[in-house]
Amino acid sequence: GQERKRKKAAPTKLTFEQIGGQESAKQELREALDFLIRHEEISKFGIRPLKGILLTGPPGTGKTLMARAAAHYTNSVFVAASGSEFVEMYVGVGAGRVRELFKDARARAAKENKESAIIFIDEIDVIGGKREGGQQREYDQTLNQLLTEMDGIYNSDSPRILIIAATNRKEMLDSALLRPGRFDRHIQVDLPDKKGRKHILELHAKNKPLQAEVNLDKVAEEAYGFSGAQLESVMNEAAIYAMRENMEQIGQKQLSMAIDKVMMGEKTDRESTL
Q: Is 229 in the site for ligand ATP (CB under 6 A)?
A: yes
**What's the closest the beta carbon of residue 111 comes to ligand ATP, in angstroms?**
26
Contact pick of 26, 39, 51, 63 for ligand ATP (by CB under 6 A): 63
- Identity of the residue numbered 158: S
Q: Is 122 in the site for ligand ATP (CB under 6 A)?
A: yes
Q: Is 234 in the site for ligand ATP (CB under 6 A)?
A: no
Burial 62-98 (b: 16+ CB within 10 A, else e): bbbbbbbbbbbbbebbbbbbbbebbbeeeeeebbebb
Contact pick of 56, 61, 74, 76 for ligand ATP (by CB under 6 A): 61
3-state secondary structure 86-140: HCCCCCCHHHHHHHHHHHHHHHHHHHCCCCEEEEEEECCHHHHECCCCCCHHHHH
Distance CA 95, CA 168 (A): 23
**Stretch binding ligand ATP (CB under 6 A), from 29-37, 60-68, 130-138, 248-256:** 60-68
Give the residues across from 52 on adjacent strands: 163, 183
Is 23 or 222 the residue whose CB approaches ligand ATP more closely? 23
Q: Is 203 in the site for ligand ATP (CB under 6 A)?
A: yes
Nearest Cα neighbor of 231 from 259, 270, 251, 254 is: 259
Is 84 or 144 the residue whose CB approaches ligand ATP more closely? 84
Contact letters for ligand ATP, residues 86-105 (x by CB under 6 A): --------------------
Contact residues: ligand ATP, CB under 6 A = 19-22, 59-65, 122, 166, 168, 200, 203, 228-229, 232
